[in-house]
Structure 1
Amino acid sequence: MNKPAIDVHSLINAQDSPAVIIDENYRIVAANQAYCTSYGIDPDKVVNHRCHEVSHHSAVPCHMNGEDCPHKQVFSTDKPFEVLHTHYDYANRPDRVRIKAHPLHDPNGDRYLLEVINRLAPSTNLSCEDMQMVGHSPAFLALIENLIVAAKSDAAVLIYGESGTGKELAAKFVHDQSARKKNPYVELNCAAIPEALCESELFGHERGAFTGCAGLKQGLFELADSGTLFLDEIGELPLPMQAKLLRVLDSGEFRRLGGNKLTKVDVRVIAATNRNLMAMVTQGKFREDLYFRIAGINVSIPPLRERRTDIPALAEILIKRLCKPEHNLCRLTHAAIERLVSYSFPGNIRELQNILQKALATCDCNIIDAKHIHFNEHHGINHAAADSTHDHAHGKVGGVMPADGSKLSIAEVERHYISTLLEQHDGNRRIVANIMGINERTLYRKLKRYELRTENV
C-alpha cells in the first residue's frame, strides 16, 4: 500500500502557533502564516533560509553557540524534543519561546523537522519602569515560563529568591501579564514598616483610632481592590499580623483600625521572601496555615551564579541606567566581562549594580576594564564553586581543579554540580533540570548514573 504524500503547507497551517518545517541542512522548507505574522517577516525571507539565520540571527547553528539545538537532537535521535530558547524578531528584539520539535518522514524516506513555537513573553513585556528582566539562560527562560503560568491563574503566588535577585520585578511581571493588569498594583515591604503601624498600613484606620489620628485613611487592601497587593519580605511580618492577614485572605473582609464596618475587597496577593518559611513554621515564627494560604503557586528565582551567561546583558542594562544623560555611555572590556562572569555574586543583581556603580566612578575614557571591577572582600569568593558552574555553562567542565591539584573528570564535576543544585533547591528535580537546560527524564538518568537520590540531598 502506497503511503500518502503529505502536503507540508497544510500540515503547518493546521497549527495555531507559529510553526516551520526544516530539512536536514537547517533549511526552512515551509512556514505558516502565524510564524510570519508573529515575527513580522515576509515568507520569502523565511523559506529557503537556514533556521539559525532566521530565528537566531546567527551564521552558525545554535548548538555551536552552546545551546540545546532541536534540529541536532531530533535528527540524532529521531524522537520529539522540547527546549526553551531565545529567538529574535525582525527588529532584533529577543523573544522567549518554548519549542516543541517533532521528526517527520516523507514517502521517499527523506527526513524533516517540524518546529512548533510557543511564545512565553515578548521582550516588550519584560520591562518594569526603568528596570528590566533580562536573560537568555535556561534558568531565566524557565523562570519566565513559570511566571507566565502564575499570571494565567488568580491564585496567590509565593516568590522565593535570595536577596537582590529581583523578586519585586517578578511580582510586577505577574501582575502585568494577568487579567488584573489594568487595575491597581500596590506594594508593601513588610521589613520596612514598624509593627505598631503595620495594621493601619494594611487595613487603614478611622478618625480617632489612636492618639494623634486626625482622619480616615484607606489601607493598602482597599487601594488594591480588584488588583494586586505585593507583600515583599513576608517572613518579617509579626505573628499577630499574620493572623489578621490570614483572616482577610480567607474571607476577603476586614475592618479598619478603630472601625466597626466590614469592608469587602477582591485582591490577589503576591508574596515574596528570601527566608525558608517552612523552617520558620517549625520554629514557631510563621503560621503554617498562612504559609499554605499564600503559597498557592510557588516560583523560585535563580540566583545570578546559576545564570552566569546573563551577566553581560544585565551589566549592559545596568550601565545604561547608571550613566548620567550628559555623559557618554561606558562600555565593558572583554576582560571586565570575564571577571564579572567568574564571580559568584552572593548579593546577586543588586551587588552587580553596586560593583558597576563603583567601576563607573573610577574608570577612564568611559571604558570599564578588569582593574575597575572590585568585589566586596567580606563576602569572599568560592572560586572552586564559581569555576565549576562557569565551566559547566561554557562546556569546560573538565578543567576544574580540586583542592589537591589533580584534575577532576567530566563525570565527577557533573556529579558534584548536580548534587550542589539538588541541595540548593531541596531536591526539586524540575527546578534543577530547568537550570541545567535539560528535561527531567535526562536528569533522572543522570541521577541513576551518579547514584544520587533526591530524598537524601
Structure 2
Amino acid sequence: MLAVDLHSLIETHDHPFVAIDGDYHIVAANQAYCRQYGLAREDILHRRCHEISHHSPRPCHENGELCPHLALFAGGESSEVLHTHYDNAGHACRSRIKGMALRGAEGQLYLGEMVFPLEADLPLGCEEMRMVGHSPAFLACIDHLARAAESEASVLLVGESGVGKELAARFLHERSGRAGRPFIAINCAAVPEAMFADELFGHERGAFTGSTAQKKGLYELADGGTLFLDEISEIPPARQAKLLRVLETGEFRRVGGTATLRADVRLVSASNRNLLDWVDRGLFREDLYYRIAGIDVALPPLRERSEDIQALAEVLLARLGGPDRPPCRLDKAAAQRLKGYPFPGNVRELRNVLQRAMLLSRSGVIGADAIVFQPSPAQAPVERVVQADPGLKGMEREHIRDLLALHQGHRRTVADLLGVSERTLYRKLGRLGLK
C-alpha cells in the first residue's frame, strides 16, 4: 500500500522522480525516470539508489560526492546537488538532483529525488538521433555546419527554442578533428549560480564542507574534445568574466585549488536570444560575445522547412514508440495538417503533438483528427474573469497565471513561450507571488 501511495504521488511529476528509503533502497519510480534512463520499473524497485544511478556498490558520499540521502537522513536537511547519472546503457549524463523529504502513508520518512538532466533534448535520445531534412533551408544550414566543423574556431548556434541546437552541436563535433574525443554538454540555465564554478571547473578536496574528494569540472573533462554550452545567455554576469579568462588563456583552477591547469577545448555555444541586443542592454559581456562567436550559425525554425516535417515526424514516431511496439504512421490528411501548421515551438512542439496523437490512435495509423495543436497565448481562451490589478506588474501576473493554467502548470513550456529560462521564470513567479 505504501509503494502505491508513493507511486501515485511522484507520477504527477514530468521530471524523473524516485523515492528512496533510509537504507538506500528505491521504493518508487515514475515513468519519466524509467523512460529517461531506459529502465523497467521492476529492475529499479528495491535496488540501492547508488547501484542504479552511479553503477557503484558504494553510496555517493563514500566516493567523495555530496549526497542528498546523507543530508536528509543524517542531517535532516533537503539539498540540491550536481551528479553524474548513468543510463541503462552506461551513458553518463550530468544532472541536477533536488532532494526533499517525503512522508509515506504511515508517516515513514523517505528521500524524494527529482532529476533535471543538464544536457538538452535528452528525451529524444540525442546519441541515437540524426539530423533529418532535405529542404533548402536545412541543407544550407548543414553546409554551414560542415564548413564550421573543419575549423577550430568557437561556434555560436543561434535559433529559436526547440530547433535542435544540441543535435547541431553534436553534428559539428562528429565531423570535426575532435570526433571520438569527449563531447560534454551543459544547459547553463539549469545550473544554480552558486554551483557554476564548481560544475565547470571542479573542486579540490576540502574546498568546502562535504568535499571529501577531488572532482574534475566539465571543462577539464572536455579536454581534447568539445564543450557545448547551451543557453549561454543565462550565465550570471559575475561568472562571465571568469569564463572569458579561461577561454582566452586555456588555463583554470579548480575551486579551492592553487595549481593552474590547462585543457584543450573547442567551444560550441547556443542561445535563443539576440546576444548583441543583450550586449547593448548590459546583460552580456561584449568581449565574451566576440570570443564565443568566431563563427555563428543560424538554425532555421520549422516553419521555414515545412518540407521536412513528414520525415521528422517519422523519425520522432519511431523514437516515441519504443522497442515494445511498432511505430505509428501518419495518413495523408494528418501529414498535410502538420505541414500547414507554423510550429512556434519547433521540433519540440512537433514531438509533443505526435506524442498526444499516438495516445489517441489505437490502430497504429494517425489520422488528422488525432493531430491537436495547443493554442498560442494570443489565441488561448481565458475562461475565468480576471480581477482588476492595475499596472504593468498586475498585467504580467495575470498573463503568466493564464499561461500556467493553460499548460497545466508546466513551467518549462511557459518559459519557452515567454522566451526566458526556467530560472528566470522561477524568479518572476516569486516576485509576482505566484509560487
Please confirm whether the aligned pair reaches a TM-score higher than 0.5, indicating the same fold.
yes
Corresponding position: 1:298 with 2:296: yes
User: Which whole-Å deviations, capped at 9, do the CAs of 1:175-215 have from their partners, x for residues lacking one?
Assistant: 00000112111111100110000000111111121222222
CA contact (8 A) 1:346 1:379 kept: no
> What is the SS of the residue equivalent to 2:195?
helix
What are the residue-to-residue correspondences of 1:266-285 with 2, within 5 Å?
Answer: 266-285=264-283
**TM-score normalised according to structure 2 size:** 0.58
Amino acid at match of 2:148: A
Q: Percent identity?
A: 58
Instruction: Identify the residue that residue 179 of structure 2 maps to in structure 1.
Output: 181
> What is the SS of the residue equivalent to 1:131?
coil
Please report how far the alpha carbon of residue 380 of structure 1 lies from its aligned counterpart in structure 2 after TM superposition.
5.7
Instruction: Identify the residue that residue 39 of structure 2 maps to in structure 1.
Output: none
Aligned partners of 2:360, 2:126: CA distance in 1, in Å? 29
> What is the SS of the residue equivalent to 1:134?
coil
Mark the CA change 1:305 to 1:128 in structure 2 (over 3 Å): closer, same or farther. Answer: same
Instruction: Identify the residue that residue 259 of structure 1 maps to in structure 2.
Output: 257
Aligned partners of 1:129, 1:182: CA distance in 2, in Å? 13
**TM-score normalised according to structure 1 size:** 0.55
Instruction: Identify the residue that residue 350 of structure 2 maps to in structure 1.
Output: 352
CA contact (8 A) 1:253 1:265 kept: yes
What are the residue-to-residue correspondences of 1:106-185 with 2, within 5 Å?
Answer: 129-185=127-183
> What is the SS of the residue equivalent to 2:290?
helix
User: Which whole-Å deviations, capped at 9, do the CAs of 1:261-295 have from their partners, x for residues lacking one?
Assistant: 00011101000000111111111110000000000
User: Which whole-Å deviations, capped at 9, do the CAs of 1:211-240 have from their partners, x for residues lacking one?
Assistant: 222221101111011111000100000011
> What is the SS of the residue equivalent to 2:242?
helix
Amino acid at match of 2:341: Y
Amino acid at match of 2:151: S
Instruction: Identify the residue that residue 318 of structure 1 maps to in structure 2.
Output: 316
Any unmatched runs of 5+ in structure 1? 1-126, 383-457
Work out the number of aligned pairs and report it. 256
CA contact (8 A) 1:344 1:381 kept: no
CA contact (8 A) 1:128 1:173 kept: no
What are the residue-to-residue correspondences of 1:428-439 with 2, within 5 Å?
Answer: none
Please report how far the alpha carbon of residue 241 of structure 1 lies from its aligned counterpart in structure 2 after TM superposition.
1.1
CA contact (8 A) 1:158 1:270 kept: yes
Please report how far the alpha carbon of residue 130 of structure 1 lies from its aligned counterpart in structure 2 after TM superposition.
2.1
What are the residue-to-residue correspondences of 1:226-237 with 2, within 5 Å?
Answer: 226-237=224-235
Any unmatched runs of 5+ in structure 2? 1-124, 381-435
User: Which whole-Å deviations, capped at 9, do the CAs of 1:21-76 have from their partners, x for residues lacking one?
Assistant: xxxxxxxxxxxxxxxxxxxxxxxxxxxxxxxxxxxxxxxxxxxxxxxxxxxxxxxx
Indicate the structure (1 or 2) with the bigger Cα radius of gyration. Answer: 1
Please report how far the alpha carbon of residue 330 of structure 1 lies from its aligned counterpart in structure 2 after TM superposition.
1.4
Amino acid at match of 1:304: L
> What is the SS of the residue equivalent to 1:132?
coil
Aligned partners of 2:296, 2:322: CA distance in 1, in Å? 38
Aligned partners of 1:288, 1:186: CA distance in 2, in Å? 25
Please report how far the alpha carbon of residue 129 of structure 1 lies from its aligned counterpart in structure 2 after TM superposition.
2.2
CA contact (8 A) 1:190 1:236 kept: yes
Amino acid at match of 1:327: R
CA contact (8 A) 1:343 1:381 kept: no
Aligned partners of 1:177, 1:281: CA distance in 2, in Å? 31
4+ long deviations beyond 6 Å = none
Please, which moves more after superposition, 370-379 or 137-146? 370-379
Equivalent in 242, 245, 250 of residue 243 of structure 2: 245
